[in-house]
Amino acid sequence: MLKLEPYGINYKKPHMKPKEKFSIKTYKGPGFALKHVKITGPIRREFPSKGHKLIFDGIARQAIPSKSKKSPQKFKITSTSPEADAAKVLNRIGQKAFRTNDPDVKPYVDLFKSEMAQGEAFEPALITSISALLCSPDFLYLRETPGKLNDFALAARLSYFLNRTTPDDKLLDLARQGKLKSSTVLNSELKRLMKKPQFNRFINDFTDAWLNLRDMDFTEPDKTLYPEYAAFLRYSMPKETQLFFKELITSNLSVSNIVKSDFAILNNRLAELYEIPNVSGTHFRKVKLPADTVRGGIITHASVHKVSANGTNTSPVVRGIWMLERILGIHPPPPPPGVPGVEPDIRGAKTLREILDKHRSSPNCNSCHTKIDPLGFAMESFSPIGVYRENFRTKKGKGQRITPRVHGSWASYYVGPKVDATGAFSDGREFNSFNEFRNHLVQDKKLVAKTMAKKLLTFATGRKMGFSDRDEIERIVKVVSKNDYRLGDIFAEILKSKIFLNK
């Protein structure tokens, strides 16, 4: 039993009230109370286990007499034909481990015979051979022969792409029957694998790589400037993006939703951060967004703004490059040698926009920064934790001082300079706000679809897309354009592509 008692906190900062107390009885925020826990176990859903069956199925198990009635029952594995049984077991494991119907297990059978010749018992000799088999590069690596993939190689590529694990029995059976190269069968397997719980591994791994969500904890937001940031918000940020991306795939929605959508996947904490009303409870659900909101689309997610900032400041250059590479698939070249990085003037003598204007006056810098900077300035509408802002927050300044209390924490910051989110695309289209910027960007659906095709193919094949892949990628984009560039359609076309079907 855990008893919850009122508690007090002493605040030492001048603007904070001393010895303020608040009670669990009056606290209105999220939380939980743990009364008692009952654990029952160990729970064995089946015995022998799947692993035990994989190794010892078909081999006799002899019970060992127990000295005490309270001792658990023990067994000894015995064999009347050790070499034949070992070969059978190693072949069965080899099919699973090497993802093929005809594994070469002779070296491991020879190892078993050598262990037995040295006086080792059947079971430890077999375990030594299995351990060696699981050290093989054929198990540890996805080794594909150049050219057209055979059915087993295709089963492995498909499974590691969508479920991030070795092919299941259904995929291997289809490979044995030579049916996996059929477009109809591939489509059916795509739908089946997307329904498996392991598909969440793909969602998590792909968004980590594509959107750089793996760097969520690379920096820690300043708690004085951003008191809204806490453990529950940190948990919710990437979860929103993962669930949103999964919804785009499973509901076969247009890639335009990456830029702008009329819905979001939210819980109460994110809804509070985004100022979306009428969302209660910690569970995530699909929420219809107001027509005039700045939210909607992955580029408005707090997770995206978190990983593209350093915790205290935001950089239009960093965020502009992030947008170019991750959303539009354009990779600007590195800066010329000897050109210093662009940093804000901490004295406030010049704004970063003024510094970048001067930076673009250099012919060496202009061609890239003309594409980078406008995207970054539009994204300046969001703080390092994804709060929409019209003014920057500063620790020192002449503006209004803000001392809010957010989720039990005090903050102290000043209203800083106004955010200037105006700009123009390299093709001349101008925008005066983030919403105007997004309305222009959402028209570039073809470019976003092409980026997604490239990113997904790179993830599926384990290699970067090159010049020779251009025609096939263009074919995929042309096919999906007939149905509004839907993400589920892109997956289906990828599986039919020469790039996916060949090494």
Give the span between the Cα atoms of 186 and 189, in whole angstroms: 5
Last residue of some domain: 90, 120, 140? 140
pLDDT exceeding 70 applies to what percent of the chain?
A: 84
What is the rounded end-to-end Cα distance, in angstroms, of the chain?
60
Give the span between the Cα atoms of 386 and 402, in whole angstroms: 18
Kindly state whether residues 258 and 405 are assigned to the same domain.
yes
Answer for the pair 263, 286: CB distance below 8 angstroms, yes or no: yes
Structural domain contains residue 324: yes
Written as one string, the DSSP assignment of 161-185 is: HHTSS---HHHHHHHHTT-TTSHHH
Kindly state whether residues 295 and 366 are assigned to the same domain.
yes
Please give the backbone phi and psi of residue 416, each rounded to the nearest 5 degrees, phi first.
Answer: -95, -160
Q: Which residue has the higher pLDDT, 210 or 368?
A: 210
pLDDT digits (tens, 9 = 90+) for 339-350: 555 554 333 435
Give 291: exposed, middle or buried? Use CB within 10 Å, 0-12, 13-18, 19+. Answer: exposed
Kindly state whether residues 365 and 450 are assigned to the same domain.
no
Answer for the pair 306, 386: CB distance below 8 angstroms, yes or no: yes
Whether the pLDDT of residue 93 is over 50: the answer is: yes
Model confidence at 389, pLDDT cuts 50, 70, 90, reads very high
Kindly state whether residues 409 and 273 are assigned to the same domain.
yes
Number of domains in the chain: 3
List residues bridging with 265 in a β-sheet: 286
DSSP at 409: E
Residue whose C-alpha is closest to residue 444's, from 423, 457, 429, 459: 429
Please give the backbone phi and psi of residue 447, each rounded to the nearest 5 degrees, phi first.
Answer: -65, -40
Kindly state whether residues 370 and 497 are assigned to the same domain.
no
Helix 122-133 with 82-97: angle, nearest 10 deg: 30
Structural domain contains residue 244: yes
Structural domain contains residue 174: no
Question: Which of these ranges, 195-199, 367-371, 391-395, 416-420, has the smallest mean pLDDT?
Answer: 367-371
Kindly state whether residues 124 and 230 are assigned to the same domain.
no
Query: Hunting for tokens 């002899």 — which residue is that?
Result: 62
Specify the pLDDT at position 368. 67
Q: Whole-prediction pTM value? A: 0.84
List residues bridging with 66 in a β-sheet: none
Structural domain contains residue 201: no
Structural domain contains residue 182: no
Kindly state whether residues 454 and 435 are assigned to the same domain.
no
Per-residue b or e along 352-362, where b marks 16 or more CB atoms closer than 10 Å to that residue's CB: bbeebeebbee
Give the span between the Cα atoms of 421 and 360, in whole angstroms: 18
Kindly state whether residues 345 and 402 are assigned to the same domain.
yes
Whether the pLDDT of residue 1 is over 60: the answer is: no
Mean model confidence pLDDT for the chain: 87
Kindly state whether residues 460 and 412 are assigned to the same domain.
no
Write out the residue range of the structural domain in which residue 472 sits: 445-501
Q: Which residue has the higher pLDDT, 156 or 348?
A: 156
Whether the pLDDT of residue 62 is over 90: the answer is: no
Specify the pLDDT at position 349. 37
Answer for the pair 179, 172: CB distance below 8 angstroms, yes or no: no
Structural domain contains residue 126: yes
Give the span between the Cα atoms of 103 and 95, in whole angstroms: 6
Kindly state whether residues 368 and 468 are assigned to the same domain.
no
Helix locations, 442-496, DSSP H: 445-461, 470-481, 487-496
Kindly state whether residues 237 and 365 are assigned to the same domain.
yes
Last residue of some domain: 140, 171, 197? 140
Residue whose C-alpha is closest to residue 212's, from 233, 241, 236: 241
Tokens of 180: 């996996």
Give the span between the Cα atoms of 382 and 240, in whole angstroms: 17
Structural domain contains residue 243: yes
Query: Hunting for tokens 């993830």 — which residue is that?
Result: 459
Kindly state whether residues 249 and 104 are assigned to the same domain.
no
268: left (phi over 0), alpha (psi -120 to 50) or beta: alpha
List residues bridging with 286 in a β-sheet: 265
For the residues 447-468, what does the mean pLDDT come to?
96
Residue 61 belongs to what H/E stretch?
A: strand 61-64
Last residue of some domain: 140, 156, 171? 140
Q: Which residue has the higher pLDDT, 356 or 82?
A: 82
Give the span between the Cα atoms of 139 and 93, in whole angstroms: 11
Structural domain contains residue 422: yes
Model confidence at 324, pLDDT cuts 50, 70, 90, reads very high
Residue 77 belongs to what H/E stretch?
A: strand 74-77
Residue type, 118: Q
